[in-house]
Amino acid sequence: MATGKINVSVDNIFPLIKKFLYSDHEIFLRELISNATDATLKLKHLTSIGEASVEYGNPIIEIKVDKEGKKIHIIDQGLGMTEDEVKKYINEVAFSGAEEFLDKYKDSAKDSGIIGHFGLGFYSAFMVASKVEIITKSFKDEPAVHWSCDGSPNFDLEPSDKTERGTEIVLHVADDSTEFLEDHRINELLSKYNKFMPVPIKFGTRTETLPKPEGAKEEDAAPTEEVDNIINNPTPAWTKQPADLETKDYQEFYRELYPMQFEEPLFHIHLNVDYPFHLTGILYFPRLSNDLNTQKDKIQLYQNQVYVTDNVEGIVPEFLMMLRGVVDSPDIPLNVSRSYLQADGAVKKISSYITRKVADKLSSLFKNNREDFEAKWNDIKIVIEYGMLSEDKFFEKADKFALYPTVDGKFYTFEELQEKLKANQTDKDGKLVILYASDKEAQHSYIEAAKAKDYQVLLLDSPIISHLMQKLETSKENISFTRVDADHIENLIKKDEEQISKLSDEEKETLKKELEETIANKSYTIQLEAMDSAASPFIITEPEFMRRMKEMQQTGGGGMFGMGNMPEMYNLIVNTNSPLVSEILTTKTAKKKERLINQSLDLARLSKGLLKGEELTNFIKRSYEMVK
Ligand code: ADP
Ligand code: MG
């Protein structure tokens, strides 16, 4: 029997490890199963190249929980370790790694939140165990050994009578970690971290019903059999070649990833790159609502099929974080902090590769089946618009397939839109005026008015669209977006309407003065316009600029200059050709005149959705009085 001192200078690192890693104790199981997997795959490799003359067979990894004995066993059939290897890899390598880790992060690790992302290796066992044993037999013809350590830097090493190849790790679970002796807790961890690991993992057994033997009677119970309960799928879809998979395989895998998601994804993107870095994965476009914050099921990051995190910030471009799926790369440096990750060159390349792949996929969907792309547009637009805003490279590509739907359900690309509007929607300065509505119901009367003039009205209703319009206006020449209820629309109206005002200049002056007197105190700029006599007498518009700035503030202006509370500002357009307006002008009694003006103004406010609360109540009361 040999005893020895683990070669570390810190006297007792284990309490420290425990304290440091408090929040993430559960990763011990992931680490130990990863080691078991490594050991199994190494043996597979050695046998395949003829360096190990043993039968590889169908090795599995088994997890056993002994609740009474307060022990957890992790048993593999991998390459095992000789006595020398235990001394080298466990005593020296593993523990010097521990020391290095502590040295480096003693001060910073606690509150920087980086801890969850460390591969802690073998010594993470001491986060939950007061004593750890390793019983291991190498595939080489050497005796088995039994190592044990109680958390002090002293270890014991003695011969063992283990005859089968492989390693068994025994954790004597500490009193403060007994939660890990519960089956449901282990199941939870296995399904979180190990669901797609490449070697089958057994946890317990389950009863399987077999087919009845031939000639069995109706009333005979079907025979059953106890079989290994394998908790993982060692060959998940992303590890396969796209050519070997059909749509239904991708859909099945989606359900495997998100068992609680009942809706099918809209489409998927299979990532597969070997150079200059390794990356595989499958991204899914789910049906997205307009709520940017619903991100329940996130993209999961794996390293060689081991779950690492669902915080893929920095690796997946931000605008794609709304997608779902899996990214797996052995090249992502997982043992480093997040800030390092973001500065890392390889990671940046991964991010731009993903952006490019997504743009190419969308582009081919658009080209190959435009009808289907249009049908999906509403569910994917938010990602595309967000991407166009945040990544210039993506903007360049998406500009060719981003769609602009009309209120009547037609879809144009930007180029098609320009072509379509050229003739009828150019203002007097030669600028293309793109009219849009953000709410078909609320802006109904304005939409109708614009359509009556043969204008195309788009329906642009995503929460970030105001930001995108801003970007389009600066990156394209001579265009401006104008909401149907905004002020710029007059530029267009004036141009094609050669309406002659029925009022003389003198009358107009009087009218304006009277209106201003009655509507004092209210933030309206009064403008007289000669319009069709059937058009509304009073129309309220809001300056496009003001409204858009307000909207952009609400959706996070990203570096917007501080515009605290912007004032409400509206234009009141008065149609001088409306009979009601003439009536206002000719009414003699001051009281009646005032009532006509206020009632008309309230009607205009009502149609713009501005009449609310007490004012609305009073308006309704007053209207009933009038009807009587
Ligand atoms: P890492 O896995 O990053 O190398 P660990 O601390 O997890 O670091 O493990 C240290 C070493 O111990 C491994 O590199 C391996 O050589 C050895 N080892 C750990 N677990 C096993 C196992 N189940 N079978 C064989 N060797 C193992
Ligand atoms: Mg390891």
CATH number at residue 279: 3.30.230.80
CB within 8 A of 584, min separation 6: which ones? 511, 514, 593, 596, 597, 600
Lowest pLDDT segment from 417-426, 548-557, 573-582:
548-557
**CATH number of the domain that 159 lies in?**
3.30.565.10
What integer pLDDT is reported at residue 315 of this predicted model?
A: 82
Question: Where a domain ends, among 481, 498, 515?
Answer: 498
More confidently predicted of 473 and 110: 473
- Domain-embedded: residue 592: yes
- Record the pTM: 0.79
pLDDT digits (tens, 9 = 90+) for 221-252: 889 999 999 999 999 999 999 999 999 999 99
- Domain-embedded: residue 213: no
Distance from Cα 32 to the centre of ligand 2, integer Å: 7
Angle at 491 between CA 486 and CA 495, to 5 degrees: 145
- Domain-embedded: residue 528: yes
What integer pLDDT is reported at residue 22 of this predicted model?
A: 53
63 and 165 assigned to the same domain: yes
- Domain-embedded: residue 215: no
What integer pLDDT is reported at residue 550 of this predicted model?
A: 81
Distance from Cα 418 to the centre of ligand 2, integer Å: 59
157 and 253 assigned to the same domain: no
CB within 8 A of 324, min separation 6: which ones? 254, 257, 258, 261, 265, 283, 284, 286, 297, 298, 299
- Domain-embedded: residue 389: no
CA-nearest residue, atom 17 of ligand 1: 89
Lowest pLDDT segment from 22-36, 241-255, 377-391:
22-36
513 and 494 assigned to the same domain: no
Mutate to test the pocket of ligand 1, among 8, 38, 126, 147 (most ligand atoms within 8 A of CB): 38
Helix axes 13-20, 95-105, angle to 10 degrees: 60
53 and 156 assigned to the same domain: yes
Does residue 376 register a pLDDT over 60?
A: yes
76 and 184 assigned to the same domain: yes
The pocket around ligand 1, CB under 6 angstroms, is made up of 31, 35-36, 38-39, 76, 78-81, 89-90, 93-94, 97, 121-122, 167
**CATH number of the domain that 460 lies in?**
3.40.50.11260
- 375 touches 388 (CB < 8 A): no
- Domain-embedded: residue 252: yes
- Domain-embedded: residue 223: no
Number of separate domains in the chain: 4
Atom of ligand 1 nearest to the CA of 123: 6
Distance CA(237)–CA(321), nearest Å, equals 21
211: preceding bond cis by omega (within 30 degrees): no
- Domain-embedded: residue 524: yes
User: Over pLDDT 70: what percentage of the chain?
Assistant: 85
CA-nearest residue, atom 11 of ligand 1: 89
Atom of ligand 1 nearest to the CA of 79: 25
In angstroms, how far is CA 230 from the centroid of its own chain? Answer: 31
**CATH number of the domain that 624 lies in?**
1.20.120.790
**Feature table: binding site for ATP:** 31, 35, 76, 81, 96-97, 167, 338
Question: Where a domain ends, among 206, 229, 255?
Answer: 206
Distance from Cα 611 to the centre of ligand 1, integer Å: 71
In angstroms, how far is CA 34 from the centroid of its own chain? Answer: 28
Distance from Cα 96 to the centre of ligand 1, integer Å: 13
- Cα-Cα-Cα-Cα dihedral sign, residues 269, 274, 279, 280: positive
Ligand nearest to the CA of 37: 1
75 and 171 assigned to the same domain: yes
Ligand nearest to the CA of 84: 1
- Cα-Cα-Cα-Cα dihedral sign, residues 465, 556, 471, 365: negative
pLDDT digits (tens, 9 = 90+) for 570-625: 889 899 999 999 999 899 898 999 989 989 999 999 988 889 999 899 999 988 98
Does residue 472 register a pLDDT over 60?
A: yes
Distance from Cα 85 to the centre of ligand 1, integer Å: 10
Does residue 109 register a pLDDT over 80?
A: no
Coil vs helix vs strand at 270: strand
CA-nearest residue, atom 14 of ligand 1: 89
Question: Where a domain ends, among 440, 474, 498?
Answer: 498
CB within 8 A of 569, min separation 6: which ones? 523, 525, 542, 543, 546
197 and 81 assigned to the same domain: yes
47 and 191 assigned to the same domain: yes
Mutate to test the pocket of ligand 1, among 122, 123, 145, 303 (most ligand atoms within 8 A of CB): 122
User: Over pLDDT 90: what percentage of the chain?
Assistant: 50
Range of the domain at 525: 502-628
Instruction: Please compute the mean of the pLDDT values over residues 145-153 and round it to a whole number.
Output: 88
593 and 456 assigned to the same domain: no
CA-nearest residue, atom 7 of ligand 1: 121
73 and 196 assigned to the same domain: yes
DSSP 363: H
| Amino acid identity for residue 141 in this structure | D
Does residue 352 register a pLDDT over 70?
A: yes
CB within 8 A of 580, min separation 6: which ones? 537, 596, 600
In angstroms, the Cα distances linking 531 to 55, 290, 425 are 92, 38, 18
pLDDT digits (tens, 9 = 90+) for 285-302: 988 765 555 565 689 989
Atom of ligand 1 nearest to the CA of 36: 23
Mutate to test the pocket of ligand 1, among 41, 74, 89 (most ligand atoms within 8 A of CB): 89
Lowest pLDDT segment from 261-275, 320-334, 417-431:
320-334
Distance from Cα 35 to the centre of ligand 2, integer Å: 5
Q: How many CA atoms lie within 13 A of 499 on its CB side?
A: 21
Distance CA(386)–CA(390), nearest Å, equals 6
End-to-end CA distance of the chain: 108
192 and 50 assigned to the same domain: yes
531 and 579 assigned to the same domain: yes
Instruction: Please compute the mean of the pLDDT values over residues 178-198 and round it to a whole number.
Output: 95
Distance from Cα 87 to the centre of ligand 2, integer Å: 16
Please write down the HEC assignment for all residues of 386-405: HHHHHCHHHHHHHCCCCCEE
Distance CA(502)–CA(579), nearest Å, equals 10
